[in-house]
A = this chain, B = another copy of it.
């Protein structure tokens, strides 16, 4: 629509990655269009063969897969600044669908334009690969939570992660952030029943570490919650890691 206003695209990416000036320039000149997807609608259907990538500008989305049984499993959450289907540049068929958990605003960029930018500046190619690798690390961590953490810690870990991905983490301090996910969606993410998710949430609130009402999550003591949930932010590769 309005490729003459690249600001939001850059602004949202810079929350996540440190961008050099040439990279900023290259990203800023990428043609893109805005797309709006309503709460509960599919951004990308499972099995799609994408020719574009989608950068989430606003809202929350989830990668998800349906089973033959009718069950579904959410594999990752996406927050503004995430490309929801970046790996579509490298694998032809998407193995999951992407669901809008809220009303979402998306910047859509054609594969060929991204590929050209990657060829023109290898730093762009690096950025793309880094984002894919980070997404994989998040999934890996979630496997650990699903396999070896009880539901309360599992959700506690999720709260830590989402707060770190949405905000700049300030350890030891309180955090407040918006987490507009229903308990049914949380259940499909955590691999639990809705009923049990509800009870795990109550238990988590009962620890006093977290207040969670509606879409508002308040972490009263970040460090204690991280310790309780076994959250180690290494895998997020955030900026403090300048080594």
Interface residues of A (CB under 8 A from B): 47, 49, 63, 65, 67-69, 71-73, 75-76, 87, 89-93, 95-96, 118-119, 122, 125-126, 128-130, 132-137, 139-144, 146-149, 188-191, 230, 234-235, 237, 241, 243
Contact = CB atoms under 8 A, between A and B. Distances in A.
A149 B191 CA distance: 9
Given A91-B237, A133-B90, A136-B136, A143 B230 contact: no
Contacts of A92: 237, 241, 243
Given A147-B146, A191-B148, A234 B47 contact: yes
Main secondary structure on chain A at its contact with chain B? Answer: helix
Q: How many copies does the complex hold?
A: 2
Given A73-B148, A90-B133, 4 more contacts: A67-B148, A67-B230, A71-B148, A139-B143
Contacts of A191: 146-148
A133 B87 contact: yes
Given A93-B241, A129-B132, A143-B142, A137 B73 contact: no
